[in-house]
Amino acid sequence: MGLTIIQTLLFAIGIYKWIVIAMVIFSWLYAFNVVNNSNRFVAMVGEFLYKATDPLLRPIRRVMPDLGGLDISPIILFIGIFFVEQFIINVLYPAIV
C-alpha cells in the first residue's frame, strides 16, 4: 500500500516537472511573439500553465532579487522538486519497505 502511494507521488511530481518545462518554453514563445496571442487555444494553454505553476513560482519570485528580465525561479523550483524526490526515495521509501 505504501509503495503504491510513493510511486504515485513520484509519478505526479514527474508530470509536474514536465508542466514547468512546458511553461518555461511557452513563456519564451510568448515573449518572442512566436505564438499567436489572439488564438483561443494558445490562450487556454497559457492560462493552464500559468495556473498550474504560479502557486509554487510566486513565493520563489517574491524572495528572489530582481535580475532584470531573467527569471530563474523555475530553476529554483526544480532544485526544490529534486530535494523532495530525493527525500521521498531516500527517507520515506526505506521507512515503508
Please report, for the chain, the start and end positions of each structural domain, with discontinuous segments joined by +. 2-96
- What pTM value is reported for the model? 0.91
- Residue showing cell 527525500: 87
How much of the chain is helix, strand and coil, in % rounded to 5? 80, 0, 20
CA 22 to chain centre: 9
Each of the 97 residues of the chain gets a pLDDT tens digit; together they read: 889 999 999 999 999 999 999 999 999 999 999 999 899 999 999 999 999 999 999 999 999 988 888 899 999 999 999 999 999 999 999 998 7
Q: Is-contact 93 7, C-beta < 8 A?
A: no
Q: Is-contact 85 10, C-beta < 8 A?
A: yes
Cell digits for 55? Answer: 502557486
